[in-house]
């Protein structure tokens, strides 16, 4: 069955999900952050089918999140090392962890703590504004088309409504556009 591709959508969430594709891919990356580098170790830790793991590793290498490096020549064996792009994905996993800790943990508490070596405290991830360093809450942000958004789409009424470019209803209490997303 052919899978729909989101790789060319003008949306970073869609493009990221196109890369991830399924639940195994972020788990493979999680294991890489735990220090796993070799195929058999990924397979053992995750209990994933070998063919599925091969495909996920191939996809992550192809996308530039992992790099395949030879560690033995007789027989030829490779390990998978996080690239700069792969290491940068750690923030995505931390954000997912923070959300899961808040909404999915049971009464016994969070399953894994994140210890910040720099300050010596256990912490959780927060998304903050890169300019003022204040937390970025849903009610305080507005999506806008960026320089990479296809200009040809900006004339479509549904896109203009999504980005509240003109004529979007306003919330009188806050003078912010009302949420018109489906």
Residue spans of the domains in the chain: they are 1-117, 146-177
Q: Which long-range contacts (CB under 8 A, 24 or more apart) does 140-148 make?
A: 142/176, 142/177, 148/10
pLDDT at 170: 46
**Could you read off the pLDDT of 45-74 as tens digits, one per residue?**
999 999 999 999 999 999 999 999 999 999
pLDDT at 99: 93
Q: Is the pLDDT of residue 81 over 60?
A: yes
Q: Is the pLDDT of residue 178 over 70?
A: no
Residue 77 CB contacts under 8 Å (≥ 6 apart), including other chains:
38, 70, 71
Q: Is the pLDDT of residue 107 over 50?
A: yes
Residue 170 CB contacts under 8 Å (≥ 6 apart), including other chains:
176, 177, 178
For 26, the enclosing helix (H) or strand (E) is: helix 24-33
Helices 24-33 and 39-46: angle between axes, nearest 10 degrees: 120
Share of the chain above pLDDT 90, in %: 70
Work out whether the CA dihedral 28, 33, 39, 40 comes out positive or negative. negative
pLDDT at 18: 86
pLDDT at 3: 67
Read off the pLDDT band of 146 (50, 70, 90). Answer: very high
Query: pTM for this one?
Result: 0.81
**CATH class in words for 1-117:** mainly alpha
pLDDT at 80: 98
Read off the pLDDT band of 6 (50, 70, 90). Answer: confident
pLDDT at 155: 87
- Report in angstroms the alpha-carbon separations of 122 from 49, 118, 125: 34, 11, 10
Q: What is the mean pLDDT of residues 76-94?
A: 96
Give the separation between CA 90 and CA 96, rounded to whole angstroms.
10
pLDDT at 5: 85
């Amino acid at each position: 069955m052919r899978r729909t591709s989101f790789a060319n959508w003008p949306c970073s969430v869609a493009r990221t999900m196109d890369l991830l594709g399924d639940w195994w891919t972020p788990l493979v990356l999680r294991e890489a952050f735990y220090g796993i580098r070799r195929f058999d170790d990924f397979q053992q830790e995750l209990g994933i089918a070998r063919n599925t793991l091969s495909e996920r590793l191939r996809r992550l290498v192809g996308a530039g999140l992992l790099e395949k490096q030879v560690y033995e020549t007789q027989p030829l064996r490779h390990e998978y090392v996080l690239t700069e792009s792969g290491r940068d994905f750690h923030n995505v996993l931390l954000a997912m962890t923070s959300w899961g800790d808040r909404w999915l943990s049971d009464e016994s508490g969070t399953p894994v703590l994140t210890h910040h070596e720099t300050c010596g405290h256990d912490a959780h991830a927060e998304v903050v504004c890169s300019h003022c360093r204040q937390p970025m809450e849903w009610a305080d942000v507005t999506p806008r088309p960026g320089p990479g958004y296809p200009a040809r789409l900006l004339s479509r009424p549904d896109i203009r409504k999504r980005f509240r470019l003109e004529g979007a209803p306003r919330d009188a209490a806050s003078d912010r556009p009302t949420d018109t997303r489906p």
